[in-house]
Chain A
Amino acid sequence: MRVVVDLNRCQGYAQCAFLAPDVFAMHGEEALLYDAQPDDAHRADVLRAVAACPVRAITVEGAGGRWTADRVGASDGA
């Protein structure tokens, strides 16, 4: 599976690092590092992380995933 985090949007709440620790990890107090192509075995954890992210910064491709990262700072409507 494929994952991307909009790190402009991420504010370091670390919910993903608790829910899918094999995929997301805090580096220092606020910076997030993650595996962009985790094994499918982690899919359920990753989807929980997507749902729990307070700023909806995580996007997953494919089943159960959908594009959720809105543009940051764009003032034009979609």
Chain B
Amino acid sequence: MALDGSLERLRREGHIVVVGASLAGLRAAETLREEGFTGTLTMIGDEPHEPYDRPPLSKQVLLGLVPVDRTALPRRRAIDARWRLGVAATALDMAAKRVTLADGTSVEYDRLLIATGVRSRPWPNELEAGLDGVFVLRTTDDAARLVHRLRAGPRRVLVIGAGFTGSEIASVCRERELPVTVAERGPAPLVGALGGVIGEVAAELQHQYGVDLRCGVMVTGLEGDGAGRLRRAHFSDGDALDAEVAVVALGATRNTEWLAGSGLAAGPRGIACDAGCRAFDVRGIVSDDVFVAGDVARSPHPLFGYQFLSLEHWGNAVAQAEVAAHNMISPGERRRPHLWTPYFWSAQFGRNIKSVGVPNMADQILVSQGSLSEHRFTAVYGYQGRVIAAVTFDQAKWLEFYQRQIERAAPFPLPFTTVDRRTEGMRPVPAGFPDPSVPSHGPEVTVSGHSPTDQRVTFTPA
């Protein structure tokens, strides 16, 4: 099919609405213009700010090295959009092709891109969550409040949850020489994302930097004083801790509530879409008008058994937005699949942690370069005899090699030796991922859905 009349009209004078004005939404809008879309473009965002970069918030911004209002994203090009910032989308009518906004107005579209992302999972007890001194960290406003409080020098900070964000916050607290306690329900920090073997290394680093790390415990209550200020936290092991600041870092929840009743396949685990970023409706049929990109999307990846991956990764948001935008204004035969290999980074406790692939699918792990005890190494993850992921601590330069091994489904363990191989790297060991059906702060990557090879469904906590 060449460009038929309707697609040509869409590209020339159609109306494309992007819900979600962060990294994915912005990059999609730029791609639409880059590829020749000359119609009307509307950007809807619930935050009042123009698109900004989030990764610095838990690092240089919290450290006080960069002002909180200075992380706006550079623009690839002018997008000539109508901006509706500070107003959330509240409903979608797919039959009428209409998005309703929180201020009661509505916007009609010819094509819609949903890039509403995720938000911090709040502390479950609302009264306790409302105490002065209880924070989450996701937005620039969150960061502004938290950095202001850290600057005041609280006597102790409690971080609830030792995933990547919680660990980065704890690291910043130690660099600010603030006493910090980290409470983690699992057996080690980062265990949901990287497994028990690497979790042990993460725990050693936290101890080395003076974190009071408490694993295998839950925070059961936050207690305020008469003025509504956080005073103390209570733990499942019966202990209590005085703290003036608590940061709730229990992972993220996907912004899909506004789609309830819309008929889209949207829920707490995201919006299901095909590899071309077209959204599924509840019947499992893809839409030609509604596309999805970024943290809120779940899409099947051929490299990982066609399982639906939902990735809270910066690079994924960019790559998926580009594919979605291209496909929105392209005829069928020119559409592209989103085949990004998962990639992410974290800076904490003086180390640069990077990952490629999907570690939490793995059954085994092997330290192929360097040494765990030196906290400088490359670890390879295997799943049913093939390389599925790799993680580096201060060895980022090797990661690209392992990316290629993942993409060509190389055998695990690798049938050749590697630079700086130690005795500990001679034999694979169990990767040590916790049972995904046990609730935790949740892994960075959730893997779920039917696999054509083994028809196995993996459930992860919502």
Assess the B60–A33 pair: CB atoms within 8 A: yes
Contact with B along A53-78 (1 / 0, CB 8 A): 00000011110010100011111100
A3 to B75, CA, bound (A): 9
List the 5 closest pairs (A to B, CB-CB), nearest first: A61-B74, A31-B347, A73-B341, A30-B352, A28-B350
Assess the B55–A7 pair: CB atoms within 8 A: yes
Q: How far is the CB of B59 from chain A (nearest CB, A)?
A: 6
Instruction: Known contacts A7-B55, A27-B347; decide if A36 and B340 are in contact (CB<8 Å).
Output: no
Q: How far is the CB of B352 from chain A (nearest CB, A)?
A: 4
A-B contact pairs, 7 of them (CB 8 A): A4-B74, A7-B314, A11-B396, A28-B351, A61-B75, A73-B341, A73-B342
Contact with A along B84-114 (1 / 0, CB 8 A): 0000000000000000000000000000000
Assess the B72–A8 pair: CB atoms within 8 A: no
> Which of B66, B319, B396 sits near A35, CB closer than 8 Å?
B66
Taking CB atoms, residues of chain A closer than 8 Å to B39 are none
Taking CB atoms, residues of chain A closer than 8 Å to B343 are 8, 72-73
Assuming A4-B73, A37-B71, what are 5 further A-B pairs, CB within 8 angstroms? A12-B394, A33-B63, A36-B73, A72-B319, A73-B356
> Which of A11, A30, A34, A60 sits near B74, CB closer than 8 Å?
A60
The A-contacting residues of B in range 334-355, CB under 8 angstroms, are 336-337, 339-345, 347, 350-352, 354
B122 within 8 A of A: no
Taking CB atoms, residues of chain B closer than 8 Å to A74 are 319, 339-340
Taking CB atoms, residues of chain B closer than 8 Å to A33 are 56, 59-60, 63, 65-66, 347
Residue ID in chain B nearest A27 by CB atoms: B347
How many chain A residues touch B (Cβ–Cβ < 8 Å)?
33
Q: How far is the CB of B94 from chain A (nearest CB, A)?
A: 28
Assess the B72–A37 pair: CB atoms within 8 A: yes
Q: How far is the CB of B223 from chain A (nearest CB, A)?
A: 35
> Which of B71, B341, B345, B347 sits near A36, CB closer than 8 Å?
B71
Residue ID in chain A nearest B351 by CB atoms: A28
Assess the A72–B315 pair: CB atoms within 8 A: yes
Taking CB atoms, residues of chain A closer than 8 Å to B403 are 73
Taking CB atoms, residues of chain B closer than 8 Å to A62 are 74
A-B contact count (CB 8 A): 109
The A-contacting residues of B in range 42-84, CB under 8 angstroms, are 53, 55-56, 59-60, 63, 65-66, 70-76
A45 within 8 A of B: no
The A-contacting residues of B in range 269-283, CB under 8 angstroms, are none
Assess the B344–A36 pair: CB atoms within 8 A: no
Q: Is the interface on chain B under 10, 10 to 19, 20 to 34, or 35 or more residues?
A: 35 or more
The B-contacting residues of A in range 1-51, CB under 8 angstroms, are 2-4, 6-8, 10-12, 25, 27-37
Assess the A36–B56 pair: CB atoms within 8 A: yes
Contact with A along B425-455 (1 / 0, CB 8 A): 0000000000000000000000000000000
Assess the B340–A59 pair: CB atoms within 8 A: no
Assess the A65–B74 pair: CB atoms within 8 A: yes
Instruction: Known contacts A7-B55, A10-B396; decide if A35 and B350 are in contact (CB<8 Å).
Output: no
Assess the A76–B323 pair: CB atoms within 8 A: yes
Assess the A76–B60 pair: CB atoms within 8 A: no
Residue ID in chain B nearest A34 by CB atoms: B60
Taking CB atoms, residues of chain B closer than 8 Å to A76 are 323, 336-337, 339
B215 within 8 A of A: no
Taking CB atoms, residues of chain A closer than 8 Å to B323 are 76
Q: How far is the CB of A43 from chain B (nearest CB, A)?
A: 13
Q: How far is the CB of B402 from chain A (nearest CB, A)?
A: 11
> Which of A10, A29, A35, A71 sits near B318, CB closer than 8 Å?
A71
Assess the B396–A4 pair: CB atoms within 8 A: no
Q: How far is the CB of A46 from chain B (nearest CB, A)?
A: 11
Q: How far is the CB of B271 from chain A (nearest CB, A)?
A: 21
A57 to B248, CA, bound (A): 32
B322 within 8 A of A: yes
Taking CB atoms, residues of chain A closer than 8 Å to B8 are none
Assess the B74–A8 pair: CB atoms within 8 A: no
Residue ID in chain A nearest B407 by CB atoms: A75
